[in-house]
Amino acid sequence: MSQAAPILEARNVSKYFHDPLTVQVLKDISFTIQRGEFIAVIGKSGCGKSTLLYVLSTMDTDYEGDIMLEGTILRGKKDAELARIRNNSIGFVFQFHYLLNEFSVLKNVMLPGLKKGDSSEKEVEHRAYEKLRILGIQNEALKMPNQLSGGQKQRVAIARALINDPLIIMGDEPTGNLDKKNSDNVFDIFSELCSEFGQTLLVVTHDLDFASKTHRIIEMEDGRIIKG
């Protein structure tokens, strides 16, 4: 692995929920992710893994400690700046694909690229077709999401996550809604993105078969990292 600044680093991150009692859900979490790593975060329900993902992704800013993206400390940045970082540098793939049914597949993939605003619509469209081609669904580009299977929808969601060439893709149970065949397909896609394109991936999953094939497993228990 490169000895350059890690893509992502957590330093002594803790988080509390206050509803109605104060409960500590993340306890002094520290780890680094290097460029091109494919990492799975596992642990029982309620251990804090999804909470950790939301903190790392800047969607939750109420925490103690520091999160660094390519060496830049994210603490204290304004909401608008964090939204820009999320859109430009972090791709998201969730259990539910959250595609907008009123837009075509192509337009769904283009949306984060259009929001970024530094390329013409034509350039973003070209990039979107390229991502769909990598994922083997370019022929579905002009269809509407409700015309696709569950596995195809998740591929579209992955293409959308890739549109701005993010530093890191974060997945929250990305295979949780899929059968074994489509889960394996998603793993193969992530693995290829890592090996062929050097993409960095951090995936929270209950699927131990999926996790076992990644580069590294981070195991959580009761808000702490116990392995990885």
Question: Which pLDDT belongs to residue 117?
Answer: 81
Residue pair 63/12 in contact (Cβ under 8 Å)? The answer is no
Residue pair 134/56 in contact (Cβ under 8 Å)? The answer is no
Helix (H) or strand (E) holding 66: strand 64-69
Give tens-digit pLDDT for 64-85. Answer: 999 999 888 998 899 888 888 8
Report, as ranges of residue numbers, the positions in the chain whose pLDDT lies below 70: 1-4
Question: Which pLDDT belongs to residue 2?
Answer: 42
Question: Which pLDDT belongs to residue 214?
Answer: 94
Token digits for 92? 């998201």
Provide the β-strand partners of residue 11: 66
3-state secondary structure of 213: coil
| Structural domains present in the chain | 37-61+78-227 (3.40.50.300)
How far lies 219's CA from each of 25, 26, 35, 117, 187, in Å? 15, 13, 20, 38, 19
Strands 224-227 and 216-221: antiparallel
Q: Exposed e or buried b for every residue in 166-194, given b needs 16+ CB within 10 A?
A: bbbbbbbbbbebbeeebbebbbebbbebb
